[in-house]
Amino acid sequence: MQGFSRILMRGLLAGALLAGVSQAATAEMVLNAGNSQEPESLDIHRSSGVSEANIQNDLFEGLLTQDAKAQPIPGAAESWTVSDDGKTYVFKLRADGKWSDGTPVTAGDFVFAWQRLLDPKTASPYAYFIDQVVNAKEIRLGTKPADTLGARAVDDHTLEVKLLGPTPYFLATLTHHATFPLSKANVDKFGNDYVKPGDMASNGAYMLAEAVPQSHVKLVKNPEFHDAANVKIDTVRYFVTEDVDSELQRFKAGELDYTYTLPNQQIPDLKQTMADQVRIVPYIGTYYYTVNTTHEPWKSHPELRRALSLAIDRDVMVAKITQGGELPAYTFVPPGMSNFAPWESKDAKETQSQRDAEAKELFAKAGYGPDHPLTVEISYNTSENHKKIAVAIGAMWKQKLGVDTTLTNLEWGTMQSALRKKEYKDFGRTSWIGDFDDPSNFLDLFRSTAGEQNYPAYANPDYDKLMDAAVVEADPAKRGQLLAQAEQLFFTDQPIIPIYYYTSKRMLSPAVKGWQDNVLDNHLSRWLSVER
């Protein structure tokens, strides 16, 4: 009996070990990500924030997508050709491209989605994004019908796109969520409810499983995705983490595999105590305050707008407040962007004392001072980081110009609505993160026809003319000069106050593999894995 028991025990142990190996091999791989604010919408045409884009990039795939380093690579299109004049693109869609419901992704789905993007009824903040396509601007402004768009389905797997002029950055724009396809059949069936779990058909690496308000969005692997065999992570959970201090604590507790950002005041300590998990990387983006020029005193007083800009000590801001390696910003286009003729603002060359002296002169010229004080309001979306920046700026304005500042904290969706509808009182905290490496991505925001994302309601015909000339200029050097001239004119008018150029700031668990730092800070989950 004893010998038999030993044999039996060995068999049971071997079976248990084999079962354990089997369970390990089939264990669900889960990624838990901090994602800042509650998504405004998962509709690819009705959102504009980074937190929404992070999720949409996992759910959908454009004609092109991004690799782990955020470089454009073939996506839903496996190949394309470009005409000699650079104005006609023909995309060949991959034969194995499918929606998550098993139906094929067609060229008609792209045409349908782009027409929906441009439809004035959609009211997309990114409607201007494909203005380089023939008749796109006229369609979104309501002067031409949707079927005149310079994009047509030659057949189910061939999409032809005609542009107004050679556009060196066009392919890079096709990795952006505004240009993603939508299943026409699915949207026809569910309407705007297509964004709900169970109703959404997606063509990316993941499908939408849950969307719990103020908690998380859960994605699961899409078995119909053309590269599903190489997607390692089974489930991605994007958590709402507006409270940056709480987000950091959740990371330390192992609840998150990476954070959306870091609490500014804790960065110096984190660099000392958890240096191997801190990721601070240059980021193509500008943090700025928009000025509401739809009413006085901002409408008629560019010198007043400039005075308040000059009075902000940006060197103190990045050294003492943000502390994440950011650079002081005196222009809107971040340094180092391609296809641009860099220029240096006069303000950047001066000392802060010189800037302060000019600020006081301009403030008095606008009619303000001890006998005529100015009170302003800064609106910002919920974040301790944004609050501390606003408090610091208010203190600088008070000390140097005697300005009284009130702060208004708004939830993300409310803040976005206030900016788009020009319902913020004086100054609105916002930012622009580059969608692709070209200055037009920043400067197009302020065309008079740009729509809702022109938060200051800036309108200057001379600016528009320079931007229009850049669209059709084939010489890259001349185009870069036109864009630089446009930005210089823009800052003569001073409808915004740039504060700093971003860095991306995260905590990243050593368990996450495949992460590649990049200036767009885009990290599609399909390229990652988690080894716990």
Per-residue pLDDT at 353 = 98
DSSP run (H or E) holding 52: helix 50-59
Amino acid 13 reads: L
For 87-99, write each residue's pLDDT tens digit: 999 999 999 999 9
CA distance 286 to 173: 19
Grade residue 342 by pLDDT with cuts at 50, 70 and 90. confident
The residues that bridge with 206 in the sheet, in sequence order, are 221
CA distance 509 to 454: 38
Grade residue 25 by pLDDT with cuts at 50, 70 and 90. very low
For 427-441, write each residue's pLDDT tens digit: 999 999 999 889 999
Please provide the average confidence, as pLDDT, over all residues in the chain. 94
For 124-155, write each residue's pLDDT tens digit: 999 999 999 999 999 999 999 999 999 999 99
State yes or no: pLDDT of 82 exceeds 50: yes
State yes or no: pLDDT of 278 exceeds 60: yes
| CB 506 within 8 Å of CB 260 | yes
The stretch 300-306 carries a mean pLDDT of 96
Per-residue pLDDT at 63 = 98
CA distance 264 to 282: 16
Q: Which two structure tokens, joined as six digits, stand for 435? A: 């969608």
State yes or no: pLDDT of 9 exceeds 90: no
State yes or no: pLDDT of 5 exceeds 70: no
Q: Which of 45, 53, 58, 411 has its CA nearest to residue 218?
A: 58
